[in-house]
């Protein structure tokens, strides 16, 4: 399955009350500091929009955003094109980069210890209706692609894959893991393997 | 992403009009050729612009990151999609929606495309288009194919072409229209799209339709060409016709459109348009971009001579059956409601419903139907909202939705009895806010968020003002509630600031070694009568002080207003001097240490600079006599406006000219501190050392502003009309703004120049 346009969103465990506008300086600072992998370009704000893309860090390969689509805040990694010089598979790259951004964000002073991401509650979907049309075959293929990674990251836990049912939305899953995991531990696993 | 067999081209081949599909294939081929270096970037730029693919901020590879101007390392640093425009830089795609019409299927596709190629936002523009931002040029062909499959084109959405044909969004359901202009606007769109007579313009050409003269909706007065529906009697019979206008336009200097033909038969609409296109293509300016709109040609020739040329050209046109055929075809289509009409039943309504209904529901002349204004914050809709709105369209009205130039959506033909449910459905997707067409319903161009020319954060300001005004809406006096605010990020007027009660456009000011974002306040514009008259710049105020500026102005309006006086007349009565006095303290820039927040823009914590849209800033604490010249120029420009208010046209023109001379003197003195000279010398020095060398243009990115000076110096207008005086005063203000930009971007100090 073509997963070049894979998206991963880790939902917040706490921190939905932190105003997104207060976090604008964080994304600007990340550009100054080349904090994330890939080429970072600009910051754009949609705080005036109801349940929208929130706050975006626009980049060449993948956008990062504090996304509020469907009324659930989370850190969304939206891969737009295959990362340069990466031998890693797309799923693993997306998980690692998304969690890396979550980790950085939790430590930023503007988040003030008030923001925490739920490593055990996430959403994965393919942002490409041609490569991943909305039917059962896509769902099965995506599940097959996801399982090895989820098994290794959430070792010893059970997880539930809830397929997106709305045919107008993009194919993917909401994933709920029945145990809590430490963000840094999962991130370390992703970085090591 | 796509393969030989699985790609959008193959998937959609039977769903696209064949000629559109072919054009998209050609565009894709041009993309390939450009990548191979076989097309000049300049040629490719115009090619993609005509396909609706625009550049976006930072595509030159430079961005202020708050500490320094950083070079953006795009992956293919030697590949370009236009002069100084990186191939891999995100761009904008403008999508045409003629007369603002949208079907449910089209909204669904827009939602998908916004998610897959953009940032999940569809943005409604001030000309009834949609825009997607942060799009990669290589994604454009597939995006166009998917649009094409639901009969949408991006063709000629940008570039020197006939842009989107706009029309009053109430056409057909309006209480004051002479007749429904929709079929005519459709016919004109179809006729002129790709027309051979419209391929050699020096600049863009915008057309608008209005159903009546008195309301604002069509904004005919500010268009290159406009049609106002009118019934008149011919041979004892009442017939439909148009008053046809030409040569209007906003831009840095606004022009009122001139009446080309009165009571013109509808059947003549297309041949007249074709004749105008031919004359514009043949005689319009091609070299100086800033003087190439048709308004300059009409002003230069005079409307009588222009009219004569059109009449002559019309006689030469070979007959085209589409002139009447297209109109007949679209007259057949009509628009029908999908639900039966029924009055609103008295019952318990959802919370907030009655308040919302006051501002957001428009009673149609058709019994039992209303048009609902969906207030869209900053014109931005998420993909989820677009899909939900598409479902609402299917449920309540079918395909009768229209985008407005005020960046809202209108659902026409809503049965009154459905209104409470409709309101609740809107509320469920966060679009149930009232206040459509009120002071909190602010229009804004993209400004510094994404526009290459943006100087100040128009969207940031609009967002802040909307929030504040929404919160205090219930406490605002009625006369304030009905005012209009429009914001542009630069003088180019995409936010239509000239035709609002309170207009703002972005400028910058130097304060020591810093640059401070400002907005120029424009007062006295008229929204009604199709954007009937334009406001004038009154004062430049730091961006962060605009909310206070509005608070003071509206408080003054409430306290000093005479009975039934509107804001425009109030401004005229009390005069700009008093207004400026009211705001004087807000215009003074405190030091960076005293008020650092003024040195960044709305929603952007970076220390403000415009160096990343022009040449690098290297300012220092230099005190130079040029600053005295700038002050004098400011003062003269303001006095000119006061004269204009007092109807002293000659006085206004003379003072505007003096202002320009002082502005030019400031530029000359920025390089030669000892320079002293009369007007001839100053213009000569400016031309020789700053204009002819390209030095001035390089720093202000526009040839037009200097042209204002040369024109004023050559033609001092002994007996100016009100229009001419108005324009001259605007031009003086714009030349002054350009000089400010020059002084910000170019380092004042010694440089090779005679006289030193």
- B620 or A150: whose pLDDT is higher? A150
**Measuring CA to CA, how many Å separate B177 from each of A11, B127, B245, B459, B529?**
51, 20, 17, 33, 13
**Distance between CA atoms of residues A128 and A151, nearest Å:** 25
In chain B, which residues have their Cβ closer than 8 Å to the Cβ of A46?
119, 121, 380, 382
Average pLDDT over residues B332-350: 89
Contact present, B181 and B100 (Cβ < 8 Å): no
State the pLDDT at residue B5.
Answer: 65
Report CB contact under 8 Å: A42, B58. Answer: yes
Task: Provide the percentage of residues in chain B whose pLDDT is more than 90.
Answer: 74
DSSP per-residue string spanning B581-631: HHHHHHHSPPPTTT-GGGGSBTTB-SPP--GGGSSPP-------THHHHHH
**Measuring CA to CA, how many Å separate B450 from each of A81, A91, B385, B656, B729?**
21, 31, 22, 33, 30
**Distance between CA atoms of residues B119 and B128, nearest Å:** 20
* Local confidence band at B747 (pLDDT 50, 70, 90 cut-offs): low
The least confident of B121-135, B233-247, B487-501, B524-538 is B524-538
Rounded to a whole number, what is the distance in angstroms from the first to the last CA of chain A? 22
pLDDT above 50 (res B486): yes
What three-state secondary structure class fits B100?
helix
State the pLDDT at residue B41.
Answer: 85
**Exposed / middle / buried, residue A112 (Cβ in 10 Å: 0-12, 13-18, 19+):** exposed
Average pLDDT over residues A156-177: 97
State the pLDDT at residue B296.
Answer: 93
- Considering CB atoms only, which of A31, A84, A170 is closest to B75? A84
**A168 part of contact set with chain B, CB < 8 Å:** yes
The least confident of A116-130, B109-123, B656-670 is B656-670
pLDDT above 90 (res B115): yes
- Considering CB atoms only, which of A2, A48, A58 is closest to B378? A48
Average pLDDT over residues B101-114: 98
Report CB contact under 8 Å: A130, B384. Answer: no
- Over the stretch B142-194, which tens digit does the pLDDT of each residue have? 999 999 999 999 999 988 899 999 999 999 999 999 999 999 999 999 999 99
Average pLDDT over residues B659-668: 94
pLDDT above 60 (res A87): no
**Distance between CA atoms of residues B455 and B502, nearest Å:** 19
DSSP per-residue string spanning B383-426: HHHHHHHHHHIIIIISS-EEE-TTS-EEEEEEEGGGHHHHHHHH
Contact present, B379 and B125 (Cβ < 8 Å): yes
pLDDT above 70 (res B751): no
**A90 part of contact set with chain B, CB < 8 Å:** no
* Local confidence band at B38 (pLDDT 50, 70, 90 cut-offs): confident
Average pLDDT over residues A139-144: 96
Contact present, B161 and B50 (Cβ < 8 Å): yes
User: Largest Cα–Cα distance in chain B?
Assistant: 84
Phi, psi angle pair for A178, to nearest 5°:
-85, 0
pLDDT above 60 (res A86): no
- B88 or B613: whose pLDDT is higher? B88
pLDDT above 90 (res B518): yes
**pTM, rounded to two decimals:** 0.88
Residue of A60, A67, A125, A128 for testing the chain B interface, max B β-carbons within 10 Å: A60
Average pLDDT over residues B665-684: 87
Token reading at B71: 């070079």
State the pLDDT at residue B748.
Answer: 56
Identify the closest residue of chain A to B426 by CA–CA distance.
Answer: A50
| The residue to which tokens 């288009």 are assigned | B129
> Using alpha carbons only, how large is chain A's radius of gyration in Å?
16
**Distance between CA atoms of residues B392 and B342, nearest Å:** 18
What three-state secondary structure class fits A89?
coil
Average pLDDT over residues B247-271: 92
In chain B, which residues have their Cβ closer than 8 Å to the Cβ of A69?
120, 382, 384
Q: What is the ipTM of this complex?
A: 0.97
- Considering CB atoms only, which of B115, B134, B463 is closest to A58? B134
Question: Considering Cα of B737, then B738, then B743, then B749, what sign does the dihedral take?
Answer: negative
Token reading at B383: 């993909």
Report CB contact under 8 Å: B116, A52. Answer: no
**Distance between CA atoms of residues A36 and A24, nearest Å:** 16
Taking residue B165's Cβ as centre, other Cβ atoms within 10 Å add up to: 30
Token reading at B336: 């029908």
- Over the stretch B394-435, which tens digit does the pLDDT of each residue have? 999 989 999 999 999 999 999 999 999 999 999 999 999 999
Contact present, B257 and B303 (Cβ < 8 Å): no
Phi, psi angle pair for A164, to nearest 5°:
-65, 125
Report CB contact under 8 Å: B382, A53. Answer: yes
Question: Considering Cα of B294, then B99, then B503, then B520, what sign does the dihedral take?
Answer: negative
In chain A, which residues have their Cβ closer than 8 Å to the Cβ of B612?
none
CB within 8 Å of B671: residues ≥ 6 apart:
B689, B748, B749, B750, B751, B753
- B302 or B289: whose pLDDT is higher? B302
- Over the stretch B522-552, which tens digit does the pLDDT of each residue have? 998 887 776 767 888 899 999 999 999 999 9
Indicate the length of chain B as a whole number. Answer: 756
Map out the domains of chain B with their CATH numbers: 8-148 (3.30.70), 173-332 (3.30.413.10), 353-428 (3.30.70.3340), 441-612 (3.30.413.10), 622-756 (1.20.120.330)
**Exposed / middle / buried, residue A166 (Cβ in 10 Å: 0-12, 13-18, 19+):** exposed
């Amino acid at each position: 399955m073509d997963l070049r346009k894979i998206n991963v969103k880790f939902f917040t465990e706490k921190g939905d009350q932190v105003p997104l506008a207060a976090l604008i300086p964080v994304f600007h600072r990340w550009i100054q500091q080349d904090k994330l992998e890939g080429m970072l370009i600009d910051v754009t704000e949609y705080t005036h929009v109801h349940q929208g893309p929130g706050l975006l860090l626009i980049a060449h390969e993948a956008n990062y955003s504090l996304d509020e689509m469907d009324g659930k805040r989370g850190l969304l990694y939206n891969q737009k094109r295959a990362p340069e010089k990466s031998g890693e598979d797309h799923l693993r790259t997306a998980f690692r980069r998304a969690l890396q951004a979550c980790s950085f964000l939790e430590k930023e002073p503007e988040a003030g210890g008030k923001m925490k991401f739920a490593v055990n509650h996430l959403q994965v979907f393919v942002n490409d209706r041609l490569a991943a049309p909305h039917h059962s075959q896509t769902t099965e293929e995506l599940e097959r692609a996801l399982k090895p990674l989820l098994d290794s990251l959430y070792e010893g836990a059970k997880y539930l894959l809830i397929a997106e049912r709305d045919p107008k939305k993009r194919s993917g899953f909401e994933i709920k893991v029945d145990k809590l995991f430490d963000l840094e531990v999962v991130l370390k696993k992703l970085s090591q393997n | 992403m796509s393969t030989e067999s699985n790609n959008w081209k193959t998937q959609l081949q039977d769903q696209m009009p064949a000629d559109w599909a072919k054009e998209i294939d050609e565009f894709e081929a041009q993309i390939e050729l450009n990548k191979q270096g076989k097309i000049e970037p300049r040629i490719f730029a115009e090619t993609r612009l005509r396909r609706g693919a625009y550049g976006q901020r930072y595509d030159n590879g430079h961005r202020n990151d708050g500490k320094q101007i950083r070079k953006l390392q795009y992956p293919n640093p030697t590949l370009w999609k236009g002069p100084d425009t990186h191939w891999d830089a995100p761009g904008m795609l403008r999508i045409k929606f003629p007369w603002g019409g949208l079907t449910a299927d089209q909204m669904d596709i827009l939602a998908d495309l916004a998610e897959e190629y953009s940032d999940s936002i569809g943005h409604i523009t001030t000309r009834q288009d949609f825009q997607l931002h942060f799009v990669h040029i290589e994604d454009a062909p597939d995006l166009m194919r998917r649009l094409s499959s639901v009969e949408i084109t991006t063709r000629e959405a940008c570039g020197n072409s006939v842009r989107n044909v706009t029309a009053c969004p109430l056409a057909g359901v309006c209480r004051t229209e002479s007749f429904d202009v929709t079929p005519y606007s459709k016919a004109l769109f179809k006729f002129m799209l790709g027309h051979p007579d419209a391929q050699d313009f020096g600049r863009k050409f915008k057309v608008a339709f209005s159903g009546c003269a008195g309301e604002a909706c069509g904004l005919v007065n500010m268009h290159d060409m406009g049609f106002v529906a009118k019934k008149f009697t011919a041979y004892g019979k009442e017939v439909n016709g148009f008053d046809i206008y030409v040569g209007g336009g906003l831009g840095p200097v606004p022009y009122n459109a001139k009446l080309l033909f009165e009571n013109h038969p509808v059947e003549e609409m297309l041949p007249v348009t074709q004749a105008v296109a031919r004359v514009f293509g043949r005689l319009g300016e091609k070299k100086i971009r800033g003087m190439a709109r048709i308004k300059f040609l009409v002003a230069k020739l005079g409307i009588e001579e222009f009219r004569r040329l059109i009449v002559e050209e019309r006689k030469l046109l070979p007959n085209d059956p589409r002139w009447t055929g297209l109109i007949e075809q679209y007259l057949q289509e009509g628009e029908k409601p999908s639900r039966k009409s029924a009055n609103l039943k008295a019952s318990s309504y959802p919370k907030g419903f009655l308040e919302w209904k006051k501002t957001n529901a428009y009673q149609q002349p058709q019994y039992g139907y209303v048009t609902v204004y969906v207030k869209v914050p900053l014109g931005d809709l998420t993909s989820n909202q677009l899909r939900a709105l598409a479902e609402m369209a299917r449920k309540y009205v079918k395909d009768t939705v229209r985008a407005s130039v005020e960046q809202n959506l209108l659902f026409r033909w809503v049965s009154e009895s459905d209104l409470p449910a409709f309101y609740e459905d809107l509320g469920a997707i966060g679009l149930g806010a009232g206040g459509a067409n009120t002071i909190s319903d602010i229009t804004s161009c993209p400004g510094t968020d994404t526009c290459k020319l943006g100087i100040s954060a128009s969207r940031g300001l609009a967002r802040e003002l909307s929030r504040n005004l929404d919160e205090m809406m219930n406490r605002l006096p009625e006369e304030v509630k009905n005012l209009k605010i429009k914001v542009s990020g630069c003088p180019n007027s995409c936010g239509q600031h000239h035709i609002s009660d309170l207009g703002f456009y972005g400028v910058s000011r130097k304060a020591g070694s810093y640059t401070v974002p400002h907005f120029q306040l424009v007062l006295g514009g008229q929204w009604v009568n199709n954007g009937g008259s334009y406001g004038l710049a009154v004062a430049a105020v730091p961006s962060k002080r605009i909310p206070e500026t509005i608070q003071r102005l509206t408080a003054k309006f409430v306290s000093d207003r005479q009975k039934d006086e509107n804001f425009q007349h109030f401004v005229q009565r009390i005069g700009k001097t008093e207004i400026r006095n009211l705001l004087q303290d807000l215009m003074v820039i405190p030091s960076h240490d005293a008020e650092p927040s003024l040195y960044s823009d709305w929603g952007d914590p970076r220390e403000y600079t415009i160096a990343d849209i022009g040449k690098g800033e290297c300012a220092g604490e230099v005190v130079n006599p040029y600053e005295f010249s700038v002050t004098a120029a400011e003062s003269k420009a303001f006095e000119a406006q006061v004269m204009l208010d007092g109807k002293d046209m000659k006085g206004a023109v003379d003072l505007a000219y003096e202002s320009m001379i002082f502005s030019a003197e400031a530029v000359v003195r920025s390089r030669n501190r000892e320079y002293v000279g009369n007007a001839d010398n100053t213009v000569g020095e400016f031309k020789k050392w700053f204009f002819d060398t390209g030095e001035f243009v390089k720093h202000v990115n526009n040839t037009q502003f200097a042209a204002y000076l040369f024109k004023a110096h050559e033609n001092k207008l002994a007996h100016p009309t009100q229009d001419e005086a108005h324009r001259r005063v605007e031009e003086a203000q714009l030349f002054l703004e350009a000089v400010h930009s020059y002084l910000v971007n170019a380092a004042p100090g010694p440089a090779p120049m005679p006289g030193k």
